[in-house]
Amino acid sequence: MNPISKLRASMLLTLATVISISTLLLMAVLIFVLPSSNLDFLLTASLGIVFVFHIFQWLLGPKIIDLAYNVKPLPTKYGWIKEIVDGISAKAGIPKPPEPVLADIPVPNAFAYGNFISGYKVAVTKGLISKFPKEEVEAVIGHELGHVKHRDVELMMIVSIIPALILWIGRSLMLAGWFGGGEDESEASLLPLIGVSLIVISFLFNFMILYISRLREYYADSHSALVVPDGARKLQRALARILVVSGEFKRYAPQALAGSSKFKTLMISDPETGVDLHGFTSIEEVVEWIKSRPKLMPTDFFSTHPDPAKRLRFLDKLARNTQ
């Protein structure tokens, strides 16, 4: 099985596991808690509040991101960015190319965002397009257009509802038990235990959501490798260069780095993950050094992005598979 097929299988299996377990939990609450209690309105309100909050966040999110990263229309001198976006979109079968915009921050990075009302956008930072070779910017844009093609904004919003919903129901049941929400004393004593159990389960679900997020980053990497000529190698170089520059910001300008990390889950690379390297004469040497590490981060278990060393090695597999 090739790397992309394995990746798709992992994503489908993880999504199926999350959806099936959460469905069983919710059914258990509906079958064993609601019929014997007076909590119908409380749990129904929990469902409504969580869904409304996430939809509201999804609709307003693009405006918030625009303000957070000082996003502005792409200046005329960067018209080549639009050409890249339009060209890759046509090749990838994206019917309406996203709008390329400029995020006025010095840290090199990129992200895709938007919805059907605001439209979809691909933002490149000033630090990326002013310092990186065009071929590496092209590979980064190929990655971001992968997120658009795969509908990752909508997918991550939907799966993030699950732990939030379980958490809200758990808290509601816990509080209801403490304040006598059950119909009898034994039920009132049982509700807090059920509530705490659901809260713990929601915490565990968040690790599965982070794992899905890391898989989506790999999947977007594979999109760049497939649609951009020599995309895997170009993306390796871009990611390595982002790590080096982020390491410099971490050391010399931590305030700028903190400002770029507000919505780091959107970024192609976590701005807070950088390397402090000296003595290398080329970016290829940096790429090989990163790939030689077992890991660059102590653990990626708590991260929205894959460990950079694993990610660059995965791109090696893609390069071999697409030759």
For residue 259 the two structure tokens come to 């400002």
Q: What is the pTM of this model?
A: 0.91
Query: Does residue 183 carry a pLDDT above 70?
Result: no
Share of the chain above pLDDT 90, in %: 63
Query: Mean per-residue pLDDT for 281-294?
Result: 94
Distance of alpha carbon 64 from alpha carbon 204, whole angstroms: 28
Distance of alpha carbon 21 from alpha carbon 28, whole angstroms: 11
For residue 138 the two structure tokens come to 């092209």
Q: Which amino acid is at 161?
A: I
Q: 184 falls in which pLDDT band (50, 70, 90)?
A: low
Active-site annotation holder among 144, 154, 185, 248: 144
Share of the chain above pLDDT 70, in %: 92
Q: Are 235 and 306 in contact (CB under 8 A)?
A: no
Q: 90 falls in which pLDDT band (50, 70, 90)?
A: very high
Give the orientation angle of helix 185-227 with respect to helix 231-252, to 10 degrees. 120
Q: pLDDT digit string (tens) for 232-276?
A: 999 999 999 999 999 999 888 888 888 888 889 999 999 999 998
Distance of alpha carbon 240 from alpha carbon 222, whole angstroms: 17
pLDDT of res. 260: 85
pLDDT of res. 13: 94
Q: What does the mean pLDDT of the chain come to?
A: 89
Query: Does residue 38 carry a pLDDT above 80?
Result: no
- DSSP class of residue 37 equals B
DSSP sequence for 208-246? HHHHHHHHHHHHHHHHHHHHSTTHHHHHHHHHHHHHHHH
25: which residues sit within 8 A by CB, 6+ positions away?
166, 198, 201
Stronger pLDDT, 87 or 37, i.e. the higher one: 87
Query: Mean per-residue pLDDT for 120-129?
Result: 97
Question: Among this protein's residues, is 187 annotated catalytic?
Answer: no
Distance of alpha carbon 210 from alpha carbon 208, whole angstroms: 5
Stronger pLDDT, 57 or 226, i.e. the higher one: 226
pLDDT of res. 42: 65
pLDDT of res. 210: 95
